[in-house]
C-alpha cells in the first residue's frame, strides 16, 4: 500500500485519473504501435468502427476488414462496436428502441444473451491478438447497455472489454441505465464513458451538459465520450464542455454536423468547431483521444472518407 493512501483512496484516485494517462501507466501497448505513429500532431487519433459502413455487422470477416481499413487509413487505435465482433442477433440488442419491436426480437435477444454468457473469453483475446499482430490497438469497447441486459450480461460485457484489451467501455445509453451500472463499474473498477446523441425532449438521454453531469456525479468511474457532432446539432458548445470537463472526457467523437438538428457534413462544412476542439486539446495537452466517426453521405468507400477526415485533422494540426 502506498504510504498515506488507503486502498479505497487509491482506487478513487485511480478512477479520477485521466484514462489515457492511466492506460499508458498500466499497459505499455498504449504507447507503442509498430508501423503506425501513435500520435498525429501531438494527439492520439482513433476511429469508431461504425465509420466503416461497408463492414457488415455480425460478419465473420468484419475484424479482418476493419484491420485492413485502419491500416489503410493510418489509424492505430479504435473503438470497436460490439456488432462488429458479436454474431448477428447482437446488432438487434443495442441502442435502437425501434429494433425491439421487430418480429422475433425476443428470440434474437435471448440468442444474443446466451452467446454473450457462454462465449469463452479466449474469443475476445484472439480478436485482441489479431489487432496487436497488425500493430493496432482496441482502446474502447462500444457496447450499448440498456434495460434488456441482465446483470450477468452486464458483468460479462465488462469481462469482454478487458479481454479485448480495452481501457474503457463506451456506451450509447441512458441515465436510468447508468444508475443500474454504478455497482458494476465500482466492482470491476472499470470506466464506462457515456456517448451522447441530440434528442432534445427525452430527459433520460445524454444530449446536454446537464445530462452528462448527472452521470458523472453517480460514480467516478463514469466518463464521457463526447460526440462533438451530435452535441453541436443539439445547439450545445463542445469547446466549453471540453474546457469544463476534460478530466472526465476519455475521447471525443469527431464529426461535423450543422446546428439545429442539422445533417452530417464532410469535415469543415458543418457547424462543429472541429478546428477549435483539436487545437484546444493539443494546446492544453489534455489526454483526450480523438476518434473519427464518419457518417456523412458519399459515393466513395468508407475508408476513403475516413482518410479524408484524417487529412482534415492533419491540416488543422500542421
Residue 26: CB minimum distance to other proteins, A: 34
Question: What does DSSP assign to residue 263?
Answer: P
Grid coordinates belonging to 82: 460490439
Residue 176 engages other proteins in binding (rule: CB under 8 A): no
Are 99 and 57 a contacting pair, CB within 8 Å?
no
Residue 201: CB minimum distance to other proteins, A: 5
Taking alpha carbons only, the member of 47, 57, 50, 54 closest to residue 78 is: 47
Binding-site string for other proteins from residue 81 to residue 100, where x marks contact by CB under 8 A and - marks none: --------------xxxxx-
Question: What does DSSP assign to residue 295?
Answer: -
Would you list the DSSP string of 129-193? HHHHHTT-EEEEEE----TT--HHHHHHHHHHHHHTT-SEEEEE-BHHHHHHHHHHHHHHT-EEE
d(CA 174, CA 95) in angstroms, rounded, equals 9
Grid coordinates belonging to 7: 486502498
**Among 16-24, 163-171, 243-251, 299-307, the segment contacting other proteins (CB under 8 A):** 299-307
Residue 295 engages other proteins in binding (rule: CB under 8 A): yes
Grid coordinates belonging to 78: 479504435
Segment 188-247, which members bind other proteins (CB under 8 A)? 197-202, 205, 233
Cβ proximity to other proteins, 23 vs 234, nearer residue:
234
Binding-site string for other proteins from residue 252 to residue 291, where x marks contact by CB under 8 A and - marks none: -----xx-xxxxx---------------------------
Judged by CB under 8 A, the residue of 3, 28, 54, 318 near other proteins is 54
d(CA 292, CA 309) in angstroms, rounded, equals 7
d(CA 309, CA 288) in angstroms, rounded, equals 18
Judged by CB under 8 A, the residue of 150, 176, 179, 298 near other proteins is 298
Strands of 70-167, DSSP E:
77-81, 137-142
Q: If 0-12 CB within 10 Å is exposed, 13-18 middle and 19+ buried, where does residue 104 land?
A: exposed
Residue 187: CB minimum distance to other proteins, A: 29
Residue 182: CB minimum distance to other proteins, A: 23
Cβ proximity to other proteins, 196 vs 219, nearer residue:
196
Residue 61: CB minimum distance to other proteins, A: 17
Cβ proximity to other proteins, 53 vs 126, nearer residue:
53
Segment 104-133, which members bind other proteins (CB under 8 A)? none
Grid coordinates belonging to 38: 501513435
d(CA 121, CA 160) in angstroms, rounded, equals 7
Residue 315 engages other proteins in binding (rule: CB under 8 A): no
**Which spans of this chain sit near other proteins (rule: CB under 8 A)?**
53-54, 95-99, 197-202, 205, 233, 257-258, 260-264, 295-302
Amino acid at each position: 500500500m502506498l504510504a498515506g493512501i488507503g486502498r479505497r483512496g487509491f482506487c478513487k484516485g485511480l478512477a479520477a485519473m485521466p484514462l489515457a494517462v492511466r492506460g499508458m501507466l498500466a499497459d505499455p501497448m498504449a504507447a507503442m504501435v509498430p508501423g503506425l505513429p501513435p500520435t498525429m500532431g501531438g494527439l492520439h487519433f482513433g476511429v469508431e468502427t461504425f465509420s466503416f459502413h461497408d463492414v457488415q455487422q455480425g460478419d465473420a470477416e468484419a475484424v479482418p476488414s476493419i484491420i485492413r481499413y485502419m491500416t489503410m487509413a493510418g489509424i492505430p487505435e479504435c473503438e470497436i462496436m460490439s456488432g462488429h465482433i458479436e454474431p448477428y442477433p447482437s446488432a438487434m440488442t443495442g441502442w435502437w428502441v425501434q429494433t425491439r419491436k421487430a418480429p422475433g426480437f425476443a428470440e434474437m435477444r435471448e440468442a444474443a444473451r446466451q452467446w454473450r454468457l457462454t462465449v469463452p473469453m479466449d474469443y475476445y483475446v484472439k480478436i485482441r491478438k489479431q489487432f496487436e499482430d497488425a500493430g493496432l490497438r482496441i482502446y474502447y469497447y462500444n457496447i450499448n447497455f440498456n434495460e434488456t441486459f441482465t446483470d450477468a450480461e452486464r458483468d460479462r460485457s465488462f469481462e469482454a472489454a478487458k479481454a479485448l484489451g480495452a481501457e474503457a467501455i463506451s456506451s450509447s445509453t441512458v441515465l436510468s441505465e447508468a444508475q443500474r451500472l454504478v455497482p458494476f463499474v465500482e466492482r470491476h473498477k472499470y470506466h464506462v464513458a457515456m456517448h451522447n446523441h441530440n434528442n432534445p425532449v427525452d430527459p433520460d438521454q445524454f444530449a446536454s451538459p446537464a445530462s452528462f453531469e448527472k452521470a458523472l456525479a453517480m460514480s467516478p468511474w463514469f466518463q464521457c465520450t463526447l460526440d462533438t457532432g451530435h452535441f453541436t446539432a443539439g445547439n450545445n458548445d463542445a469547446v466549453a464542455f471540453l474546457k469544463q470537463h476534460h478530466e472526465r472526457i476519455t475521447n471525443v467523437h469527431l464529426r461535423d454536423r450543422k446546428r439545429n438538428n442539422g445533417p452530417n457534413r464532410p469535415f469543415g462544412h458543418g457547424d462543429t468547431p472541429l478546428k477549435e476542439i483539436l487545437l484546444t486539446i493539443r494546446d492544453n495537452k489534455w489526454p483526450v483521444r480523438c476518434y473519427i466517426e464518419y457518417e456523412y453521405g458519399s459515393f466513395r468507400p468508407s475508408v476513403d472518407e475516413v482518410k479524408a477526415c484524417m487529412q482534415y485533422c492533419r491540416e488543422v494540426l500542421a
